[in-house]
Amino acid sequence: MSTAEPARPRSYLEEGFGLRSWLTTHDHKRIGVLYGLGITFFFFLGGLAAALIRWELVTPAGDLLSAETYNKAFTFHGVVMVWFFLIPSIPATLGNFLLPLMIGARDVAFPRLNLFSWYLYMLGGLFTLACLLLGGVDTGWTFYTPFSTMFSNSHVLMAVVGVFIVGFSSIFTGLNFIVTVHTMRAPGMTWMRLPLFVWAMYAVALVMILATPVLAMTLALIGLERLFGVGIFDPALGGDPVLFQHFFWFYSHPAVYIMILPAMGLVSELITNGARRRIFGYKFMVYAIVGIAVVGFLVWGHHMFVAGQSMYASIVFSILSFIIAVPSAIKVFNWTATLYKGDIGFDAPMLYALGFVGLFMLGGLTGLFLAAAALDVNLTDTYFVVAHFHYIMVGGAVMAYLGGIHYWWPKITGRLYSEAWARFAAILMFFGFNLTFFPQYILGYEGMPRRYHEYLPQYQVWNVLSSAGATILGVAYLLPLVYLAWSLRHGARAGPNPWDATGLEWQTSSPPPPHNFEQVPQVTEGPYAYRR
């Protein structure tokens, strides 16, 4: 027989094999993979710091680390997890990989800028590592003045430069996504046919380019203040130390939406596929995403109820914070309703997604306690806050990210992983997570302040439980590293659409060819065209 089976098109992975072909690539898919590698590295580095923090806290006395080292460990943990993991994780890896595929484009709008963003990310990371090697920084990831500007003797400048640089990577990624979504959608891909993940990426890109410059400016002011003592934050020179907090949270509150909006978009994809059912209330989901992105800019003052801000300002920030909880509630209800009359399978991505909904709910509802100024007084700056943001950021964003990695792994690599191990890891993670962070709510309510290297003996029981949970959680995070790596060699071939999913990215081969589609796809209906 001379008619061979039609040759599988050459994939983006086979475009070139040398290091050079990767480091000079303009292919959004390869850049997504590059980000994935960098981000994984930083995740485990930040995780190591978390382990040190938690093991130190097994006993009330500060006996494992010195006070100095402890302070540097939680600062490093925070800086790395926020700027080198949470903010870039979903947008820069899955976003980069999937956004053009999902809208039927050949690439992002500015492929060179995309590669440049990755170099900026790595450069910022190098500065942060250099800072660590020089001796670290002890200000906390929040860099509050006047401690950071006038009193800390550690390497504040170096740390700030690292974060400053990585901020630009974030801005360029945002810019790229906005232009891509506006100009490169396939014929028929109208706004109301965009997958929710694309909507989330679009909203997040807007937040990135609007908020990140404020961070850059604020960090530059810290630099100026440390080098030249200009006096912006120094009360003796007429400055205001609390001004920094306004600037900082004006960025950093929207930043938590940079972390969670992509996760929301992603989980919508996982749930609708896991239930083989159209997402419930697509339009409401879109409005909720946009609403969260907009109102997210107006609530920064809820970080400062006890910081000396006026009583009335606090009331305004409090009501706005309650209002932003509404769209978040809508999303939870819609995900739940999507399960109704579904055809639900429990593969690993779905387990991660269901875990996300549960943890996100517990994190979000405890946010109401912090939004109520009268309750926040007692809870702020305690472990209650640590628990709250880990529920949102680790329970939420990390679970979603891992769910997404599992869901699109066959698309990215062309291989299937061990489903049994993946389910086991997801369940272990959920268990370890709750054991780690739920006790912290109780600790916080009972008054244990955060950033404590020593604590009073009455808090020990909950701390021991939390540290035990953290150890389990650490193991659960290592598992995917092993079985995913294993699948690269030994996993079965995936085929274009192993999940029986809708969406343009599943219509091309796995892994996709360099330019994504053999011919430009035509879109004729909305997303999630499942039968039910």
Partner 1 sequence: MMLPQASSLAPNVDHLFDTLLALCALVVIGVFTVMIVFCVKYRRGTDAIRTPAHRHMGVELTWTLVPFFLFMGIFGWSVHLWIKLRTPPKDAQPVYVVAKQWMWKVQHPGGQREIDQLHVPVGQPIRLVMTSQDVIHSFYVPAFRVKQDVLPDRYTQLWFTATRAGTYDLFCAEFCGTDHSRMRGRVVAMAPAAYARWLHAHQGTGLAAQGADLFRQLGCSGCHDPRSGVHAPHLYDLYGRTVPLADGSQVLADERYLHDSILLPKKQVAAGYAPIMPSFEGRIGEEDVLALVAYLKTRTHAAEDTDEHR
The residue (of 319 and 475) whose beta carbon lies closer to partner 1 is 319
The residue (of 95 and 195) whose beta carbon lies closer to partner 1 is 195
When asked if residue 255 is in the footprint of ligand HEM (CB under 6 A), the reply is no
What is the Cα gyration radius of the chain? 23
Q: State the minimum distance, in angstroms, from the CB of residue 5 to ligand HEM.
A: 45
The residue (of 336 and 507) whose beta carbon lies closer to partner 1 is 336
The residue (of 191 and 346) whose beta carbon lies closer to partner 1 is 346
What count of other Cβ atoms lies within 10 Å of the Cβ of residue 159? 29
The closest residue (CB) to ligand HEM is 78
Phi, psi of 415 (to 5 degrees): -125, 155
Host H or E run for residue 327: helix 311-339
Answer yes or no: are the C-beta atoms of 491 and 416 closer than 8 Å.
Answer: yes
Of 473, 396, 385, 376, the residue nearest 140 (C-alpha): 385
Tokens of 507: 């219509």
Binding residues for ligand HEM restricted to 401-420, rule: CB under 6 A = none
Tokens of 320: 């706005």
Host H or E run for residue 490: helix 460-490
When asked if residue 319 is in the footprint of partner 1 (CB under 8 A), the reply is yes
Cα–Cα distance measured from residue 345 to residue 273, given in angstroms and rounded to the nearest whole number? 9
Cα–Cα distance measured from residue 375 to residue 384, given in angstroms and rounded to the nearest whole number? 11
What length is written for the chain? 532
**What is the distance of C-alpha 349 from the center of its chain?**
17
Per-residue interface string for the shown chain with ligand HEM, residues 422-441, x marking contact by CB under 6 A: --------------x-----
Pick from 226, 423, 451, 515: which binds partner 1 (CB under 8 A)? 451
When asked if residue 472 is in the footprint of partner 1 (CB under 8 A), the reply is no
Answer yes or no: are the C-beta atoms of 140 and 196 closer than 8 Å.
Answer: no
When asked if residue 398 is in the footprint of ligand HEM (CB under 6 A), the reply is yes
Answer yes or no: are the C-beta atoms of 159 and 137 closer than 8 Å.
Answer: yes
When asked if residue 340 is in the footprint of partner 1 (CB under 8 A), the reply is yes
Pick from 90, 201, 386, 425: which binds ligand HEM (CB under 6 A)? 386
When asked if residue 450 is in the footprint of ligand HEM (CB under 6 A), the reply is yes
Q: State the minimum distance, in angstroms, from the CB of residue 96 to ligand HEM.
A: 19
Rounded-to-10 torsion of CA 27, 33, 39, 41: -130
Q: State the minimum distance, in angstroms, from the CB of residue 34 to ligand HEM.
A: 20
Q: Quick one: what does residue 53 bind among partner 1, ligand HEM, none, with the CB cut-off 5 to 8 Å set by partner type?
A: ligand HEM
Q: Quick one: what does residue 238 bind among ligand HEM, partner 1, none, with the CB cut-off 5 to 8 Å set by partner type?
A: partner 1
- Using the rule CB under 8 A, give the single segment among 292-300, 339-347, 413-421, 468-476 that binds partner 1: 339-347
Cα–Cα distance measured from residue 525 to residue 523, given in angstroms and rounded to the nearest whole number? 6
Pick from 23, 192, 217, 306: which binds partner 1 (CB under 8 A)? 306
The residue (of 42 and 250) whose beta carbon lies closer to ligand HEM is 42
Q: Which residues are 493's β-sheet partners?
A: 415
Binding residues for partner 1 restricted to 55-84, rule: CB under 8 A = 62, 67-68, 71
